[in-house]
C-alpha cells in the first residue's frame, strides 16, 4: 500500500496542504476535519495540490525511477483535470477527482500523520476488548447454506466504493465482512461518512450482518472511530468467530500493533497472546468444521511484510507464522487485505490458500503494484523463493489504474466456493449499477468428511 510519509513531495508543502484542509473543513462546519468532500474539492485545496506537484520535485536530488513514474502519472492526472475544467466537462471533472483522491498523488495522506500525532497528545490508547471465556465472541450461527461477501481496504467513501458495494449487494449476501482500513485515519467522522453512511445509502434499514476487522489506518487516530464502528455494527470485539454447522470464519485483529504511520514499512505486526490462545481453541475444537481465517495484514507478501533485525525485507511475517504454525495445515483459506491488490497465491509457508483481496476501493496507479517480488526479498523458511500467483488471476486495469475487487463465498453444506470479481475503478453513472462480469477466478473447497458436528 502507499507508504504514507513518501506520498508527500516535500514535508513543508504537505503540512501546509494538511493545515489548509483543516481550515477549509472547519469553515464548512464539519464534525471532524478529515475527509470532508467539499474541502477536498475546494479551489484553494486544488491549487495547493497543484503547487505541491509543481514545486516539490526541485527539493529532491536523486529521485528513484518509481517516484519519477508516479510524478509523471500524477502530472498526467492533473493535466487531464485542468483540460476537463477548461472545456466545462463536469462529468470528466468528477471522474478525475475520484481517481485523484486516495491515489498516491493525494497529498492528504499526510492526514494520517496529523491524526496520529493528535492521538499521542490526547493519550488515546488503541481500543481492544479481550475475551474472558473461550466461548466469547462466537457469533450467532450462519445458515448452512449462506452467501458471505468479503471486501478490504474499502473505506474511502468515494463513488467507486459505493458502486462496488451496490454491485456486491446484488448477490444478496447473508453477511458482509470488511477486512479493515477506513481512510485516512479511522476517525469517528470517517467511520460515519466512509462506512456506516455508505451502507445505509445502499441497504437502507435492511442490512445484512456486517462485521469489520481492524486495519492499520483504523488505529492511526487512536481507535476511537473503530470503537464507534463496532458499536454501530453490534460487533462485540475486534476478533470473532462466525459459524454454521460446516464452516467457521475466524476474524483476527492484526491492526492493534500497527498504529504508527511513521513506521509503516518496518512494522511486523502480531496478535495478542490471549487472542492466539482463543484462535487455537477455535481450530482445535472445530468439531469437524472447515476453517477460514480473516485478517487485515498478510501472512506473506511479494512486497515484504516488514524488516528483520538486519534490515532485510521479509516475505513471511515470522510473528504470525510462529503463532499459528500448528494450525495452518487445518486452514482451508486465509483472506487478508492491506496491499491494494488482488493476489491469489499458490501454496506457501504451510498455507494451502493465501488470498489478498485489498483492492476494495483505493485507486492505485498501474505501475505502483507489486505483482512481482521486490528485490532482496527473503523467502519464508523452507521455501526456495518468494510466493507465486495462481496463473491467470492478475487484476485488470484501464491502462492507468488497476480495477477494484471483492470476493463472494458460497457456503453449501460441506462445500465452499469462492468467486473473485473485479470492477473498473471509475466514477459510474449515478443510479446505474453494472451487473457483475464473469468471475476472474473461482475455486471450491470440499470438506473430506460430512463436516457436520
- Evaluate whether residue 131 is within a structural domain: no
pTM across the whole model: 0.82
Is 268 domain-assigned?
yes
Mark whether 97 and 180 lie in a shared domain.
Answer: no
Range of the domain at 148: 138-446
Kindly report, residue by residue over 303-356, the tens digit of the pLDDT. Answer: 999 999 899 999 999 999 999 999 999 999 999 999 999 999 999 999 999 999
Residue for cell digits 519464508? 380
Clarify whether residues 69 and 113 are in a common domain.
yes
**Distance from first CA to last CA of the chain, Å, rounded?**
41
Domain match, 306 and 228 both:
yes
At 436-447, the pLDDT tens digits run 999 999 999 999
Domain assignment present for 453: no
- Pairing label, strands 175-178, 209-212: parallel
Helix (H, G, I), strand (E, B) or coil at 142: coil
Among 185, 190, 191, 237, smallest CA distance to 211 is for 237
Residue 285 confidence (pLDDT) above 80: yes
CB-based burial label for 241 (10 Å; 0-12, 13-18, 19+): buried
The helix/strand/coil state of 395 is: coil
Residues 186 and 108 in one domain: no
Residues 6 or more apart in contact with residue 15 via CB below 8 angstroms: 110
What CATH number corresponds to the domain at position 173?
3.60.21.10
pLDDT at 401: 87
Is residue 98 in a domain? yes
- Per-residue pLDDT at 150 exceeds 70: yes
Q: Is residue 133 part of a domain?
A: no
Query: How large is the average pLDDT for residues 43-51?
Result: 48
Query: Does residue 129 sit within a domain?
Result: no
- Does the pLDDT at position 451 exceed 60? no
Question: In total, how many domains does the chain have?
Answer: 2
Q: Are residues 216 and 334 in the same domain?
A: yes
DSSP 159-225: HHHHHHHHHHHTT--SEEEE-S-BTTT--HHHHIIIIIHHHHHHHTT---EEEE---SGGGTT-SHH
Q: Are residues 16 and 68 in the same domain?
A: yes
Same domain? 218 vs 341: yes
pLDDT surpasses 50 at 40: no
- What's the mean pLDDT in 152-180? 95
Q: What is the Rg, in whole angstroms, of the alpha carbon atoms belonging to the chain?
A: 21
Q: What is the pLDDT of residues 99-110, one digit of tens each?
A: 777 777 776 676
Q: What pairs with residue 389 in β-bridges?
A: 345
**143 and 112 in one domain?**
no
Is 128 inside any structural domain? no
Q: Is the pLDDT of residue 382 over 70?
A: yes
Q: Please indicate, yes or no, if residue 442 is contained in any of the structural domains.
A: yes
Whether residue 308 is found in the same domain as residue 217: yes
Amino acid at each position: 500500500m502507499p507508504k504514507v510519509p513518501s506520498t508527500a513531495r516535500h514535508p513543508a508543502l504537505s503540512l501546509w496542504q494538511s493545515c489548509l484542509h483543516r481550515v477549509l473543513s472547519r469553515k464548512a462546519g464539519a464534525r471532524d476535519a478529515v475527509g470532508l468532500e467539499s474541502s477536498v474539492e475546494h479551489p484553494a485545496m486544488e491549487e495547493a495540490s497543484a503547487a505541491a506537484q509543481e514545486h516539490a520535485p526541485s527539493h529532491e536530488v536523486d529521485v528513484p525511477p518509481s517516484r519519477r513514474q508516479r510524478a509523471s502519472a500524477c502530472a498526467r492526472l492533473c493535466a487531464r483535470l485542468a483540460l476537463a475544467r477548461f472545456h466545462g466537462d463536469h462529468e470528466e471533472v468528477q471522474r478525475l477527482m475520484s481517481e485523484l483522491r486516495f491515489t498516491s498523488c493525494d497529498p492528504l495522506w499526510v492526514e494520517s500523520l496529523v491524526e496520529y500525532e493528535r492521538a499521542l497528545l490526547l493519550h488515546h490508547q488503541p481500543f481492544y476488548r479481550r475475551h474472558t471465556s473461550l466461548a466469547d465472541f462466537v457469533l450467532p450461527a450462519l445458515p448452512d447454506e449462506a452467501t458471505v461477501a468479503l471486501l478490504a481496504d474499502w473505506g474511502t467513501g468515494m463513488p467507486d466504493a459505493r458502486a462496488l458495494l451496490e454491485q456486491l449487494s446484488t448477490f444478496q449476501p447473508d453477511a458482509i465482512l470488511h477486512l479493515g482500513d477506513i481512510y485516512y485515519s479511522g476517525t469517528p467522522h470517517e467511520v460515519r461518512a466512509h462506512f456506516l453512511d455508505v451502507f445505509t445509502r445502499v441497504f437502507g434499514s435492511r442490512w445484512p450482518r456486517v462485521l469489520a476487522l481492524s486495519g492499520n489506518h483504523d488505529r492511526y487516530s487512536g481507535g476511537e472511530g473503530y470503537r464507534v464502528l463496532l458499536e454501530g455494527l453490534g460487533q462485540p470485539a475486534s476478533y470473532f468467530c462466525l459459524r454454521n454447522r460446516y464452516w467457521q470464519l475466524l476474524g483476527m485483529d492484526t491492526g492493534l500493533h500497527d498504529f504508527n504511520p511513521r513506521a509503516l514499512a518496518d512494522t511486523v505486526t502480531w496478535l495478542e497472546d490471549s487472542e492466539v490462545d482463543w484462535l487455537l481453541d477455535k481450530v482445535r475444537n472445530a468439531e469437524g468444521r472447515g476453517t477460514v481465517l480473516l485478517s487485515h495484514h498478510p501472512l506473506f507478501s511479494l512486497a515484504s511484510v516488514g524488516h528483520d533485525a538486519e534490515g532485510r525485507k521479509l516475505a513471511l511475517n515470522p510473528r504470525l507464522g510462529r503463532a499459528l504454525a500448528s494450525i495452518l495445515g487445518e486452514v482451508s483459506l486465509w483472506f487478508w487485505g492491506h496491499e491494494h491488490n488482488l493476489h491469489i497465491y499458490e501454496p506457501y509457508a504451510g498455507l494451502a490458500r493465501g488470498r489478498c483481496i485489498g483492492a476494495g476501493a483505493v485507486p492505485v496507479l498501474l505501475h505502483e503494484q507489486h505483482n512481482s517480488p521486490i528485490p532482496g526479498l527473503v523467502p519464508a523458511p523452507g521455501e526456495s523463493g518468494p510466493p507465486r500467483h495462481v496463473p491467470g488471476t492478475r487484476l485488470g486495469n484501464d491502462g492507468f489504474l488497476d480495477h477494484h475487487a471483492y470476493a463472494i463465498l458460497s457456503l453449501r453444506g460441506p462445500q465452499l466456493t469462492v468467486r473473485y470479481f473485479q470492477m473498473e475503478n471509475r466514477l459510474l453513472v449515478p443510479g446505474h449499477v453494472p451487473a457483475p462480469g464473469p468471475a476472474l477466478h473461482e475455486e471450491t473447497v470440499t470438506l473430506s468428511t460430512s463436516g457436520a458436528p
